[in-house]
Each structure stands twice: as structure tokens, then as C-alpha cells.
Amino acid sequence: MTLKSKIQVKNTIVELDGDEMTRIMWAMTKDKLLIPYLDMETDYYDLHIKHRDDTDDQVTKDAAAAIQKHGVGVKCATITATQDRVKEYELKQETKSPNGTIRAILDGTVFRAPIMVKNIIPANRNWKRPIHIGRHAYGDVYANQEIRVSGPGRTELTYIPDDNSETVTKVIHQFNGPGIIQGIHNTDASIRSFAAACFAYGYDRKVDVWFSAKDTISKTYDTNFKKIFDDEYDINWKSKYDEAKLTYFYTLIDDVVARIMKTEGGILWACKNYDGDVMSDMLASAYGSLALMTSVLVSPQGYFMYEAAPGTVQRHYYKHLQGEKTSTNPMAIIFAWTGCLKKRGELDGTLGVSDFAAKLEESALETIEGGTMTGDLVKISTQGESAQAVFMEDFFDAIKERLDSKL
Ligand code: NAP
Ligand code: MG
């Protein structure tokens, strides 16, 4: 294609670069599949672990603020610092998880859905359509306080109202020996926006919404989630759902775990923060691979951050550094970009951009369905020997070839 015929992306996309192998694939996605076709402006933030450390994580906060400004962002996978990483990259500190920091700023819900291809059959034969997960991205154990109880003593939970009304105190436990306690919280406002985001997503995608918690055991905390979901549904969604022949269903989390195995899919499963963390990885693996998962953070104010859900593929990166070619799967990164472009196109009213993103997705899916895929997928593909494990670069080139033939 010539420069002249590039597709114009009208408004700015916030770009959050990341670490290790996903950083390599990020650059390759742009160089091979985006920049040759799109005239787009990105507001770039480098979330490389060293740069986050150098800026005392200010770059992460700035990136989140930029998403609030421009509305749409796309994020590469990033290293969450550990003591090993502090040594490896000679960091000043163990900076917080950037995903956690961004989610705390934008609030909102993370929606994940498997990317399905014909030649990779989910481990559960019943699943014919995607099961989407809506993970509440605020509070609970991710914003907790913990105390190591060193020996005998009383532990309490206390609420001191600002209006000087009576303090509320409950004894957590009277310890006879060492132990642990934890304090977690959530806010009605965040839960309400979580519920609203889930109902909006279900309605948009035309899938039923299931919400699960453990209100039989957690009679205040989880019951509050359930009640807010019920209210939000009754007030704002019931008539729309009835009209669209969609349903909302609440049941206990263990009940959903059992039922989800028997469904055909085509459901949004709304999960509390921790449940969503765990269940999304279970679903990703059962649908095929963590590398075949899309993920988007939707904030209550209507900001969207599309992200590459899996990790930075550290092992492949070390091979790459030694000059070895790897067969790393870039699907989650490609789909983070296409998701972001589709949303940008939708918000800007630029059909050409959405159409380009759809064609890029088709090209990637058809490449895999045509038997050209990365090593992780060959292992689980129904094509067995006839599927071809190619190096990452060659996989990109195969997608590009299909894309060129569509444009
Ligand atoms: P990982 O990136 O999930 O990779 C674990 C293993 O899974 C790989 O060694 C590889 O198996 C396979 N794998 C994962 N993604 C693959 C892909 N795209 N293509 C092919 N194979 C893939 O986990 P990790 O390497 O242990 O984690 C590295 C870092 O990721 C950590 O520092 C963590 O903080 C970060 N992380 C970031 C995010 C995020 O930002 N979204 C999420 C999770 C973790 P084989 O080696 O057997 O081929
Ligand atoms: Mg997780």
C-alpha cells in the first residue's frame, strides 16, 4: 500500500508499552500490521519496568490519566516487580502492579473472552460459544490491609463515622497464639458501576448475565453485592433484557462453577475481584490458551483500556536475548490493538477503522484455522501433525499476507 491510502484514525489512542517478549511482539504488531496501514496518533507511555522505577511509577499514573483524557487505550503486558526483578533490573523499589494501579485509578470492570478458532476445541466439549468473564477490578483482597498477629490478643474491626455518630466495633478474633487478620473493603458506588458495566456489556453482546457470590456465608459483604446487582437490574435493565430475550441470574459461586460446565457458553459471568482473577485463568486454559484471551477494562465513566491478558513470557524472552528464534503467540496483543481500534472507530464514527480492525482479526483467525500457528497452539490443535508450528515472525508475516489480500 502507498502512504496515500492509509486509513485515518481520527482521535488519539493511548499506548502503554510493556516488558520482555510482549514488548518485542508489541513492536512487531505495530511495524508489520498497523503502521503500514494506519495513519494514527498515539499518546505513548513506556511502562518498561526500568522506566516505571525511574519515574517512581509516575509514568503509570500519567498513562491512566491520559486514558481518562482520550477515552481509549491499549496496554502491553508488564512485569510486576518482585525481589528477583529488583535484582535483575537493579530497581530502587518493588513498584506496585501497574494493572492494579491503573484499575484503582480508572475503577471499572475487566471483561475477558476467549478467542475461538475452529481447530482448537475447548477442553469442555459442551462449550460452543465464548464464556465472557466480567471481573470487578476494585477493592477486596487487592486493596487490603493485613496484620501478622504475633501472639495472644484481641483483634477488632472498627468503623468511625465522620459525622461523629457512634463508632461500630466487632471483635474479629480473640487470639490465644500467633495468627493473621485481613481487612478488605468495597464501596457501593464501585459495586454499582460494576453491575451497570456488566449489564451494559451483556446487552451490547447479547449474552445472558450470571452473577455469583457467597451471600449465604457473607451476610453483609456479599449480600450487599447481590442487592446492588438486583437493584441495578430492576431499575435500569429488566425491561431491556426482557425485550431482548436476555436473562439475569444470580446464584452462589459454587453453583455457577458447577453449572458453567454444562452450558454451551454465550454467557457473561460477573465475578468479584478475586473470583474473576482465578476463574478467568481457568476458562482461558480450558478454552485453549491464555494467549487466546481478549481483555478490556471498562470504567464507569466510559473509558476503555484494551490489554494483553497473559504475562510477559519471560522464558521466551531470555531465549530471544540469546539470539534464538521463538514461537511465541502474539494473538492477545493483536486483539488488544484490534479491540482498541474498533472502539476508537465506533466512538469517532470512522467505519474504515473498525472495518480494518475486523479484517485484521479475520486474517489472524484464518491463519490459525489454515494450520499456521505458534507452538503453544499446535500442541492443542485438532489438526495434529498437519498443523505447522512457525516462528513468531513468520506467523506475523502469514497474517500480513492474508490482511493484504483483504484490503
Ligand atoms: P507467562 O508470561 O504467563 O508465561 C508462562 C508460560 O506460558 C511461558 O513460559 C510459555 O510456556 C507459556 N506462554 C505464555 N504466554 C505465551 C505466549 N504468548 N506464547 C507462547 N507461550 C506462552 O508467565 P511468566 O513468564 O512466568 O510471567 C512473566 C511476567 O509476566 C511476570 O513478571 C508477571 O509479573 C507478568 N505478568 C503480567 C501480566 C500483565 O501485565 N497482563 C499478567 C500476568 C503476568 P513455555 O515456556 O512452556 O513455552
Ligand atoms: Mg490472575
Write out pLDDT tens, residues 112-159: 999 999 999 999 999 999 999 999 988 999 889 999 999 999 999 999
pLDDT at 3 exceeding the cut of 70: no
Determine the distance separating the centroid of ligand 2 and the alpha carbon of 293, expressed in angstroms.
12
8 Å CB contact between 76 and 47: yes
Residue 289's nearest CA partner among 258, 332, 333, 340 is: 332
The ligand placed nearest to the CA atom of residue 19 is 1
Residues 178-204 pLDDT 10s: 999 999 999 999 999 999 999 988 998
Distance in angstroms (rounded) separating the CA atoms of residues 122 and 117: 10
Q: Which pLDDT does position 5 carry in this prediction?
A: 84
C-alpha cell belonging to residue 67: 486514558
* C-alpha cell belonging to residue 35: 503502521
Retrieve residue 347's grid coordinates.
466512538
Binned at pLDDT 50, 70 and 90, residue 4 comes out as low
Question: Which ligand is closest in space to the CA of residue 326?
Answer: 1
Query: Does residue 48 surpass a pLDDT of 90?
Result: yes
Which of the listed residues 314, 319, 380, 391 should we mutate to test ligand 1's pocket, taking the one with most ligand atoms within 8 A of CB? Answer: 314
CA of 243 to the centre of ligand 1 (A): 42
Instruction: Give the bridge partners for 112, in sequence order.
Output: 133, 295
The CA 278 to ligand 2 mean position distance, Å, reads 6
Element (H, E) at 38: strand 38-39
Q: Is the pLDDT of residue 396 over 60?
A: yes
User: Which atom of ligand 1 sits closest to the CA of residue 99?
Assistant: 40
296, 315, 324: residue to mutate for ligand 1 pocket, most atoms within 8 A of CB: 315
Q: Please check the confidence at residue 398 and state whether its pLDDT lies above 90.
A: yes
Ligand 1 probe mutation, 316, 327, 334, most atoms within 8 A of CB? 316
237: DSSP letter: I
pTM: 0.88
Q: Which residues pair with 252 in a beta bridge?
A: 213
Cα-to-centroid distance, 40 and ligand 1 (Å): 29
Distance in Å, CA 314 to ligand 1 centroid: 6
Q: What is the pLDDT of residues 8-46, one digit of tens each?
A: 999 999 999 999 999 999 999 999 999 999 999 999 999
Residue 328 has pLDDT above 50, yes or no: yes
The residue among 145 and 301 whose pLDDT is bigger is: 145
Task: Work out the pLDDT band at 108, boundaries 50, 70, 90.
Answer: confident
CA of 274 to the centre of ligand 2 (A): 9
Q: What band does 103 get if pLDDT is binned at 50, 70 and 90?
A: confident
Neighbours of 6 (CB within 10 A): 14
Measured from CB, residues less than 6 Å from any atom of ligand 1 are 77-80, 99, 290-291, 307-315, 328-329, 374, 376
**What cell was used for 28?**
512487531
Distance CA 42, CA 67 (A): 11
Task: Report the percent of the chain where pLDDT is more than 70.
Answer: 99
Buried residues in 392-402 as b, exposed as e (16+ CB within 10 A): beebbebbbeb
Instruction: Report the C-alpha gap between 9 and 135 in whole angstroms.
Output: 30
Ligand 1 center to 46 CA (angstroms):
19
Distance 309 CA to ligand 2 centre (A): 9
**What does the pLDDT look like over 340-353, one tens digit per residue?**
999 999 999 999 99
Distance 334 CA to ligand 1 centre (A): 16
Nearest ligand by distance to the CA of 278: 2
Nearest residue CA, atom 39 of ligand 1? 77
Of all protein residues, the one whose alpha carbon is nearest to atom 43 of ligand 1 is 311
In terms of Cα–Cα distance, which of 217, 200, 32 is closest to 132? Answer: 200
Tell me: the pLDDT tens digits for 220-271? 999 999 999 999 999 999 999 999 999 999 999 999 999 999 999 999 999 9
Q: Which atom of ligand 1 is the closest one to the Cα of 98?
A: 40
Sorting pLDDT into bands at 50, 70 and 90, what band is 295?
very high
Q: What is the pLDDT of residue 2?
A: 46
Report the b/e string of 347-379 with b at 16+ CB within 10 A. Answer: bbebeebbbbbebbbebbbbbbeeebbbbbbbe
Please compute the mean of the pLDDT values over residues 332-361 and round it to a whole number: 97
pLDDT range class, residue 302, cuts 50, 70, 90: confident
Grid cell in block for residue 154:
484481641
Best mutation site among 49, 313, 319, 321 for ligand 1 pocket (most ligand atoms within 8 Å of CB) = 313
C-alpha cell at 284: 482461558
**Ligand 1 atom 4, closest CA:** 313
From the CA of 317, give the closest atom in ligand 1: 25
